[in-house]
Structure 1
Amino acid sequence: MILAAGRGERMRPLTDHTPKPLLPVGGKPLIVWHLERLARAGLRQVVINHAHLGEQIPATLGDGSAWGLEIRYSPEPPGALETAGGIARALPLLGPAPFLVINGDIFCDWDPAAALALDLQERLAHLVLVDNPPHHPAGDFALVDGQVGNQEAGRLTFAGIGIYAPALFAGLDPDQPAKLAPLLRAAADAGRVSGERHGGRWVDVGTPERLAQLDGEIRFAMGTST
Structure 2
Amino acid sequence: MKAMVLAAGFGTRLRPYTLKRPKPLFPVLDTPILLHTLTQLRRNGVEGIVVNAHHLREQVKVLLHDHEDVQVQMEDVELGTGGGLRLAQPYFAEAPFLAVNGDIVHDFDLAALYQAHCASDAEVTMLLHDCPRFNNVRVDGEGRIVGFTGPAGEGERLLAFTGVQVLNPAVLNPIPAGVFYNSIDCYAEVIKSGGRIQSLIVSGHFWTDMGTPADYLKLHEDILLKKLPGFSSGNADTPFYLGKDLVLGAGVSMQDWVSIGHGATIGEGASLTRVVVWDGARVAPGSILVDSIITEGE
- Compute the TM-score of the two structures, normalised by the length of structure 2: 0.69
Give 1:143 shift. 4.7
Aligned residue type for 2:76? P
Contact 1:128/1:158 (8 A) holds in 2: yes
What aligned pairs does 1:135-214 form with structure 2 within 5 A after superposition?
136=134, 138-150=135-147, 152=152, 153-189=156-192, 190-199=194-203, 200-214=205-219
- Give, in whole Å, the separation in 2 of the partners of 1:75 and 1:184: 24
Q: Does 1:106 align with 2:104?
A: yes
Deviations 1:43-90 (A, max 9, x none): 11100000000111121123425xxxx000111124x10000000011
Three-state SS of the structure 1 residue aligned to 2:215 is: helix
Give 1:39 shift. 1.0
What aligned pairs does 1:1-226 form with structure 2 within 5 A after superposition?
1-65=4-68, 70-78=69-77, 80-118=78-116, 119=118, 121-134=120-133, 136=134, 138-150=135-147, 152=152, 153-189=156-192, 190-199=194-203, 200-220=205-225, 221=227, 222=233, 223=236, 224-225=239-240, 226=258
- Give, in whole Å, the separation in 2 of the partners of 1:102 and 1:3: 6
- Give, in whole Å, the separation in 1 of the partners of 2:17 and 2:222: 19
- Give, in whole Å, the separation in 1 of the partners of 2:66 and 2:200: 32
Aligned length: 219
Change (3 A) 1:187 1:83: same
Report % sequence identity: 30
Three-state SS of the structure 2 residue aligned to 1:97 is: coil
Give 1:187 shift. 2.4
Change (3 A) 1:201 1:133: farther
Three-state SS of the structure 2 residue aligned to 1:209 is: helix
Contact 1:26/1:216 (8 A) holds in 2: no
Three-state SS of the structure 1 residue aligned to 2:57 is: coil
Larger CA deviation: 188-197 vs 203-212: 188-197
Give 1:3 shift. 0.1
- Give, in whole Å, the separation in 2 of the partners of 1:187 and 1:171: 10
Change (3 A) 1:219 1:61: farther
Structure holding more strand per residue: 2
Change (3 A) 1:27 1:49: same
Give 1:98 shift. 1.1
Contact 1:50/1:73 (8 A) holds in 2: yes
- Compute the TM-score of the two structures, normalised by the length of structure 1: 0.89
Give 1:126 shift. 0.4
Structure holding more helix per residue: 1
Show structure 2 runs of 5+ residues with no match. 228-232, 241-257, 259-298
Give 1:182 shift. 1.6
Give 1:195 shift. 1.2
Three-state SS of the structure 2 residue aligned to 1:47 is: strand
Show structure 1 runs of 5+ residues with no match. none
Deviations 1:135-178 (A, max 9, x none): x3x42232532322227141101111111111211132221111
Three-state SS of the structure 2 residue aligned to 1:128 is: strand
- Give, in whole Å, the separation in 2 of the partners of 1:44 and 1:29: 20
Give 1:209 shift. 0.9
Structure 1 residue runs of 4 or more that deviate by more than 4 Å after TM superposition: none
